[in-house]
Structure formats: C-alpha cells, structure tokens
A and B are shown apart, each in its own frame.
Chain A
C-alpha cells in the first residue's frame, strides 16, 4: 500500500487543468465525423504514442476522452477525428479553424510500436475504430522500412461513412500497403466488397509467427474479429485491441472506466488480448 510519506509534498498540481489549444484546420469528413488539426501553445509536441488518447474540453460544456489520430512522427500539431454522438461532441462539431479547445494528456497505454517493429502488421478497423489505428498506420508508413507487411482491413456500415477518403485512395495505390475495405451495405456507386469486416479475414495469407494484429471497432465487432483471427490460428498474444470506456478523468481516479480490476484509462485503452481475455467485462 502506498502511504503519504511515499510522495514528495506539495503534490504537483495541474492534474485536471487543460491546456488551451488552437484548432488550426478542421474539415467535416462525413455527416457525423469531423477532423481537426490542433496545435499546442508554441507548437510543442504532444508526445504521444499511437493509440493513446487526450481529454478534450470545451469550456462551459465538458470534457471527454478522444483518440489521437495522427502519428508522433508528424510533429508540430496533432489530429483528432470526432463523431457527433453526445452533447460535447455536438458542440465540437460547430467549432472550426481558429477556435480554442482544452487538451489534457496524452493518457494511457497505446500500441507498443517496439513490439510491432520488424513484424508484419495486420490492422483491423471497424467504423471510427480506424481513428486511433490511423495513428499507428501513419507511424508505420513514416518508418516503412522498419516494419514488414502492412495489411489494413477497414469496414463501415455504408460507403457514406468511410473516413479519410483521400488517404484510403493513397493506401490503395501504394505497393507497400495491402488495403482491403468493405461495407455492410453498398449503394449504386459502390463496386467494392460488401459484407461485415470478418469476411475479409479468411482470404488473408499470414506469416503467423511474424504477424501482429491491432483491432479497434465497436464493442460488437471484437468477438467476431477475434474468432476469425483464431480460425486463422494467429496466437492471441499477438493481438492487440483498443477498448472504449467512459474515461472521464483519464488519470485512474474517477472510476468510470473500470473493466473488472483494471482501469481502461491507465492499463489501456490498448490491451494485449491475452491480458483482457480473463476479464469478463472486457469484450
């Protein structure tokens, strides 16, 4: 047990104090998602790892955990992509270039890129699950030679919900990216895959001992993707997932994000699958 005499007094302040940051670029990507590029004062680096999150504040409205969607390899600013889903995110939708938001963080554990280095990387993103994964994708693309194959599977409900369309086209065009996209329901213009994301998995040819998977999507997706990866015989310890919880404070105090005995905001949001497999509440 930790005691008061274990720490130096006075305790450092600022745990809940956001840093006010400028939105330097913003764009609506879909009817629900909006993309932002944000600068910390003086252009300092956020200092995050792919998969970490920040607490985004709008003064007078509130604060919520949001994944960082840019890679630390691209410095000077960072990016967020936010779905309008609650009160705070509805207000965020109205903000634009030149507006101010508060930022705390980065918090939690992201993807351990050192473990990915030298390996083939399989990315599985469902819906806005692609947002935190994009940070990892950019990281790998910026240091392409340090990684093996980069396989990206991306699925949304319909073509209208696809994010980062220009980048998707770029990933499709690149020889060193194996990009597969699918939608649950197509439309008249859609000529690509139709079906849930798991339908992309059986055809994959994987070098099993040398492959690491990063999976992020809505809660319902994990069970099926993990089953599909299991039938490919990819060992569970080579699979990482990023989980969504109500990470209200971001610093392991407020209690909302507990998954059995773990704090999602401290131990996660990125977990090795084998670490959360015994937790009944995780998936």
Chain B
C-alpha cells in the first residue's frame, strides 16, 4: 500500500484537482452543529473536521424521493425513469459511512438487484478521512475502526495537523495523476483512536444476547419515551425502506409513480388494507428496528448492520440512546443468565 504525506494546507488544492476529474461531494457546515455532504463549488467551504453529517451517503444512491415511472392515464402507457450512471467523488467520508454503503450494496444486490440504486452507485469514488470519535460514535464496538479503509479508493489519516494519504487501488492511484503536492512516506504512522461510547460486549456476542431479550422490559421502557417520529430511520445509513405512491397531474391525463423513504418506526408501516397492523405498538416497532440492526441480517451476514455512527442517538428528539438500549439488553441478558446458572455471563 502506497502512502504519501499531504500537508493540511494542500487539501484545497487536492479538492480543486479532483473537481477537474468529476463532481466532488464533501461535508459542508449547514447549521451550528450540523453537516451535510454537498457538491463542492469552493474548496474553502469544505469542512473536514466534522463529527457526522446529518444524512449519510445513502441520499445519493437512494434519494429521499425519486420518480420510478411516468405514465399516460389516457393512453395507458408507462415508461421507466431514465437514470444515467455518473462518476462522482465522495470526499471526506468516515469509515462507518463507507461500511454502511457496503451494507446497503448487499441489501440492494441480494435477491432482485435494484437497478436505480446500482446505476447511481456503480461509478462512485470514495475518499475516506479519519475522525475524532465524539460522545455518540461507537463504531469500534461494531467492528469498524476509525482507520478502516475497506471500500475506499483513497484514505486520509490525520495525524496532528497533517494527513497521511493512502492509495488503496488503481482508481485511487489514477485520481492523483498530475497532482504534485505529495511526498512519499517511508514509515507509516498508525494509531488507533479511542471511543468514549461503547457497547458492553464485543459484537460477536450480541446476536446471542438478542436470542434472549425479545421479551425484555427494555422495549417497553424505550417505547414509553419514543415519540414515533421515525428520525432514527431517516438518519440511519443502513435503513433503506421506502413507500411507493402515485401522483396524478391536475388534468388527470398523466401521472407518475414515486417512491420515498419510509420508516419501520412509523405507525402505519406494517398496516395492510382493511386495518390490520402487524406491529401496532411502539415497543414492537422499536424492537423490530433494533433487531434489524443487530440480529436478523447479522445472523445471515456475520456483521452488525448498525455501523455505530451515533446518528439515531444524536438526533433523537426524545433523547433515546441506541447504545443504552443495547447495553441495557446485555444487562438484562446477564441477569437472566445469572438467575439460571448462578454464573455471571
């Protein structure tokens, strides 16, 4: 693996260089505490010392709302929305968000491959960057180090005020052709950042915990505080559920079918025509969401589907913490094991 030294002051030059290759998207400050991946027009507006963007990269590959079909009601003919693959460079992506894209890839490819997602995703280039974990990040607990480089083409590891730039594949190497401001490094400095926020167990043990806590009182306690807004679904980089609806033009001659993000925390999510709702209680919906992140897909794929970004906790209007939920479930599991065996799990 090649590694170069990149001075912090040369980062805007790198962004300008990349902009000549393809549109570049990077974190921008939106509000006092909120960041967002936006298309770079001025390199100076890019903020690389950010904690987390409000929405993850999923908004680029699975837009919050998109047209699937257009049709004529009069002629009863229908055409699919045209989507052209586009080379886009995503700059300054944290490792957990890259891991989330890889998980979404799995969900979208498995079974029936999802053409709209794949067309938007297939030519994406990812340039990662390290981050300093804040009070909410816990990606290390789900097996994702700050410096995890899987999925990236280039990765920038910040040490003091400068960067070590790692070239991870040919695409990454091609991006740097003609960029002069790099200095080869012989000794690569590696260090691991510490996380304040942690799950009590290694992620390998969590599916075992989830086998025993389906009826835990924790769900009811969370449900008492949950307002059912679905923010956690929207913010979650591995949530991808959507609803589909038709919109008709005012002349009622034509229309379109759209899809938009939906969330399993919203009351009508599992409701069928006729009114039967298969998860009509808050605690059922909370449990479903958390099991989707730590058990159901994890049993099949071996890794947690939660990437530890901390968004659902940082943005929850009711102050519900996902790490608290999981740690309380672990506590519940330990109490059960102790009651059964007299041995501390």
Contact = CB atoms under 8 A, between A and B. Distances in A.
Contacts of A167: none
Given A219-B276, A245-B272, A260-B291, A1 B114 contact: no
Nearest to A259: B278
Given A59-B246, A246-B270, A258 B288 contact: yes
B105 interface: yes
Interface residues of A, number: 48
Contacts, number: 151
B122 A16 contact: no
The B interface, classified by DSSP as helix, strand, loop or mixed, is mixed
B203 interface: no
B255 A59 contact: yes
Chain B, interface size: which category? 35 or more
A255 interface: yes
B93 to A, nearest CB: 16
Contact of A16 (B108, B257, B270): B257
A17 B80 contact: yes
A15 B114 contact: yes
Contacts of B270: 245-246, 256, 258
Nearest to B77: A20
A11 B118 contact: yes
A2 B106 contact: yes
Interface string A244-269: 11101101111110111100001000
Contacts of A18: 69, 78
Contact of A60 (B111, B243, B252): B252
A252 B110 contact: yes
Contact of A9 (B102, B118, B248, B292): B118
Interface string A213-247: 00000010000000000000000000000001110
A1 B303 contact: yes
B296 A261 contact: yes
B78 A253 contact: no
Nearest to B298: A261
A20 B276 CA distance: 30
Given A12-B113, A16-B69, A251-B111, A256 B241 contact: yes
Q: Which 10 A-B pairs have the closest CB atoms?
A: A255-B241, A261-B296, A86-B273, A251-B112, A11-B118, A11-B115, A2-B109, A100-B76, A252-B111, A85-B273
Interface of B: 68-69, 71-73, 76-78, 80, 85, 102-103, 105-116, 118-119, 121-122, 214, 240-246, 248, 252, 255, 257, 259, 262, 264, 269-274, 276, 278-279, 284, 288, 291-292, 295-297, 299-303
Given A20-B78, A88-B273, A256-B262, 10 more contacts: A4-B122, A9-B122, A15-B115, A18-B69, A20-B77, A59-B246, A59-B255, A89-B273, A254-B244, A280-B214
